[in-house]
Every structure is written in structure tokens, then in C-alpha cells.
Amino acid sequence: MPEFLYLASQSPRRRQLLLQIDVRHELLLPGADEDSEALEAVLPGEAAADYVQRVTLAKLAAARARLLQRALQAAPILCADTTVVLGGRILGKPADDEEAAHMLEALSGQTHQVLTAVAVVEGPHAAFEPQLRLQVSTVRLCRLTSDEIVRYVASGESHGKAGAYAIQSQAAAWIEHIDGSYTGIMGLPLFETAQLLKPLGWQF
């Protein structure tokens, strides 16, 4: 079993989830010269499943190049990306509080999908042959009042969250039904992650 893996993500939730299944990891984050937001731009007409998988693989390739450039110790690299889809419309991370409020208004009383792709590459020196899994969950939110949306956005929980909410936050009180993976909705589906890591030597 490898000593550790590199997690190419700034999400504290993904770190928490890896610790939950006892996977030691170190962060491999973009430098100031990297434009991470450009990788997350949606292409015209792009389907959500294609989008989230493309972005995940692009982030993984960037992380692999970063590891080689920094001449760090060789280890597997893991990357993930999550997006929210409502009626075919991709709801990414809101640019500001106003957009966050609009997203929550759209999700209010509706059923939407949360797609998370997770990918692993064995190391920086082998051929780039990433392994990828896609997890899709369905979530239904109750009808939200304007006051509830205003308070939630003011709490800051919408910042940096696809669809402007986090399931592990107070928004959990709004969720009527889930069909899928709770950890996938959080941002790292642990079943799919474990299936990717087992061939590399991890045991669960």
C-alpha cells in the first residue's frame, strides 16, 4: 500500500472524507500562476456528466504536471469535481451572494441532481492513464422562504459550493429526499473512491 496520496483539492470536506476511510494524504494545490477557474468553464452545449468528468481529468492532469514541476515525492494523485444540475442547467459555484440566492430560489421545492466525478492516477512518472468514476445522486429540497434563503446566504455557506449549498451545513434541514450517495453529494463518493484505490494497494 502506498504511504499516502496527493489530494488535488482545496475542499476541507474531501480531506475529512479521506480521513474517515483512513487514507493518509497531502495537499497538492495550484500555484499562483495557475488559473483554476478557467478549467471549470462550461463548454457550449456540454452535458453535465461530460462536464464534470472533463473538469476532473483536466484538474488531475494539471496536478500531475504540478507534482513533476515541484519534484515532490512520487505518490498517487486523487482529484474530484462536483456539480449540481437542475433541469439540464449546470449550477456551479456562485460568483456572489446575489447569484447564490438565485440558485437557491431555483432549487426551492425542486428535485435536482448532484454529480461528482473522482479520478486517480498512479503516479507522475508512469503514462497518464487515469481511472475515473462518476457518481450521480438525486436530491429534493423543500420549498424555501425568502427569509431562509437570505439567512443562509448571509451565513457564508454558499461560498464556493456548487448549487450554492452544502449538504453537511444547516441546509440539511431542507432536504426532503436523497437517492444516491451522501458522501458523493458532499464532494467525494467514498464507495467509488475506495474502488479506485483498492487496485493501488489500499485495503478497506
Q: So what's the pLDDT on residue 99?
A: 97
Q: So what's the pLDDT on residue 40?
A: 84
Which cell goes with 185? 453529494
**What's the whole-number mean pLDDT along residues 21-45?**
86
Amino acid residing at 185: I
Catalytic residues: 81
State the angle between helix axes of 12-20 and 190-197 in degrees (0 to 180), rounded to the nearest 10. 60
- Cα separation, 165 vs 156, in Å, equals 10
pLDDT at 127 over 90: no
pLDDT at 168 over 80: yes
Q: So what's the pLDDT on residue 39?
A: 81
Nearest to 116 by CA among 45, 11, 23, 26: 11
Residue 2's pLDDT band (boundaries 50, 70, 90)? confident
**What's the whole-number mean pLDDT along residues 168-173?**
94
- pTM of the model as a whole: 0.93
- How many residues are present in the chain? 204
Q: So what's the pLDDT on residue 31?
A: 81
Spatial CB neighbours of 56, under 8 Å, sequence gap ≥ 6: 79, 80, 81, 117, 118, 119, 132
Question: For a pLDDT cut of 70, what percent of the chain falls above it?
Answer: 99
pLDDT tens by residue, 97-108: 999 999 999 999
pLDDT at 131 over 80: yes
Which cell goes with 38? 478557467
* CATH fold label, 5-200: Maf protein (3.90.950)
Helix ranges, 71-189 (H): 97-107, 146-154, 182-186
